[in-house]
Structure 1
Amino acid sequence: MTLTRRLAFLALLALAACGAPRASVPPAEIGALFAPNFDDSHPVFFPGRRPARYPVHGIDVARFQSSVDWNTARRNGVNFAFIKATEGGDLLDAEFKNHWRGAGQAGVARGAYHFYYFCTTPEAQAAWFIRNVPRGNMLPPVLDMEWNPFSPTCATVRPPGQDVRDQMRRWLNIVTAHYGQKPIIYTTPRFYRENELGKFDDYEFWLRSTAKRPSETFPGERWTFWQYSSTGIIPGIVGKVDLNAFTGSRAEWSQWVAARAR
């Protein structure tokens, strides 16, 4: 067994076992990476620009994906999943526990994300996330930063960029101290631009860009994950799902997981 494969084996074995019954993954598949067998109901990328050039793909899910056969999804290319855990200071996603358990049992590398609200302090939101997301053997936590036009109470609350970045730092620092690893920042083109998130050059980014490559939408920004579609279709998942790619090769993925999973 090569060093890279050994690292992947150990990391994914731990991820699958944490906080759930024994993983249902056959021993021969532990640590394996599967090529994406994805479709898209609304594809926008042309040859030479397609996310398929990246070998490691995954998804993000929330309560909208209420039916997921994680074993089938994994064998069709879902190598990682970011799972919505919390929102604001008091909302727990209705499917978080099911998704967390199912992904773990299937050997999918899993991480949890928090959707930020500007009507609650970052301290309260960090505490709520920590209360609901188990510590140990997980991908880095994610802070989801975007304007929320749907909240009946927070839709119009949009602080200036300096305040936004201050609140983010406070949340990030608390969560880093608890989980022992720095979170990833997820964001959209508009939010990134309006709040100068390029100043977070000491954090990894997960960038949403569903019509263009990240280099076009976020000029000069590096990224670890790219959310390239919200209309993906994957065997084992009922309905549409967000599709994501990891920035590097298979070997770089294994090294990244071994270094970042805690």
Structure 2
Amino acid sequence: MLLLRGIVSDVGLLVLFSVQLKMKLLAVTLAALSAIAFASPVLLENRAAKPHGVDVSHFQPNVNFKTLKSNGLSFVFIKATEGTTVISDTFSKQYTGATNAGLIRGAYHFAHPGSSTGAAQANFFLKHGGITLPGVLDIEYNPNGAECYGLTHAEMVSWVKSFSTTYHKATTRYPIIYTTTDWWKTCTGNSAAFGSTNPLWIARYVSAVGTLPAGWSFTTFWQYADSGPNPGDQDLFNGDMAGLKRMAKGS
């Protein structure tokens, strides 16, 4: 009997140890999944249910915006300006076409931080870009030189702040920032200074938005492809149509 009790006792301890081990493994797994969810925000809802749109420029000079509307698109961003000298020669026609087709529209400015101040480029954009959705600061890889335009991390953050505050003073709205996580980390040092004020438009051509720049817990727009069934880059609004309309009205 003493031997049997010992065997039963040992079996009980093994069962208890097994249960405790399983509980610890479950806790570790849940913690890991939680960490992944917060470190790499993704669009969790059904993409098909979200408003889709495109962004276009002079590279798409003959867009039929009524066709875009009939294809189910809801919004379009149109290039207006670049630096302090370039006004897109197709902006006016494209903006009018998008308006007449009933699309929610907005304008974007391609930044050249190495050529003039953020305030100067914001004022140039304000003078020549239409306003419905908040204007967009398109800040990304330099097409003609040094990736970060010769600016240090601190200088780049200061430049973006200059553009953003100038635009905000004129419109009471902060501009959307279009960028990639890679460029933002490389050229601003992954600054978290804009996450609480400026909506984010992230460019990433894969199946999920992935890790976002510091300061942002979600992206408002996602450029998920540079080509597709409609002209221009393919975009998604991270919300519903009612939310997109509220954003366009500034509410």
Give TM class, smaller chain: 0.7 to 0.9
1:52-71 to 2 correspondences below 5 Å: 52-71=47-66
Give the equivalent residue in structure 2 for 1:191: 183
Local SS of the residue matching 2:192: helix
Aligned match for 1:151, one of 125, 144, 147:
144
Q: TM-score normalized by structure 1?
A: 0.70
CA RMSD, Structure 1 to Structure 2 (Å): 2.4
Tell me which residue corresponds to 2:224. Answer: 228
Identity within the alignment, %: 29
List runs of 5+ in structure 1 lacking aligned partners: 1-47
CA drift at 1:248: 1.1
Q: Please point out which of 203, 226, 235 is paired with 1:244.
A: 235
Greater share of residues in helix: 2
Matched, 1:74 2:69: yes
Cross-structure match for 1:100: 95
Q: CA deviation at 1:51?
A: 7.3
- Give the equivalent residue in structure 1 for 2:120: 124
What CA distance in whole angstroms lies between the structure 1 residues aligned with 2:94 and 2:225? 20
Change (3 A) 1:232 1:51: farther
Q: 2 CA distance for matches of 1:115 and 1:51?
A: 31
**By how many angstroms is 1:87 displaced?**
0.5
Paired with 2:192 and 2:67, the residues of 1 have a C-alpha distance of 37
Q: Give distance in 1, aligned partners of 2:125 and 2:57.
A: 15
Q: How does 1:174-185 map to 2 (within 5 A)?
A: 174-185=166-177
TM-score by length of 2: 0.73
Q: Which has the larger radius of gyration?
A: 2
State the Cα distance separating 1:216 from its structure 2 match.
4.0
- Partner amino acid, structure 2, of 1:151: N
The Cα shift of 1:53 comes to 3.8
Q: Which residue is equivalent to 1:38? A: none
Question: Structure 1 pair 100/251, CA: closer, same or farther in 2 (3 Å)?
Answer: closer
Compared with structure 1, are the counterparts of its residues 160 and 257 closer, same or farther at alpha carbon in structure 2 (3 Å cutoff)? same
Matching residue's letter, 2:144:
S
Q: Secondary structure of 2:151's partner?
A: coil
Equivalent residue in structure 2 for 1:115, among 110, 116, 134: 110
Secondary structure at 2:226 match in 1: strand
Aligned amino acid, residue 242 of structure 2: A
* Residue 74 of structure 1: how far off its partner (Å): 1.0
Deviation track 1:171-214 (CA, whole Å, cap 9, x = no partner) reads 11111121231111110122121211433122110000112411
| Amino acid aligned to 2:233 | D
- For this pair of structures, how many residues does the alignment match? 204
Q: CA deviation at 1:120?
A: 1.5
Change (3 A) 1:223 1:125: same
Question: What is the alpha-carbon distance in structure 2 between the residues aligned to residue 232 and residue 210 of structure 1?
Answer: 11
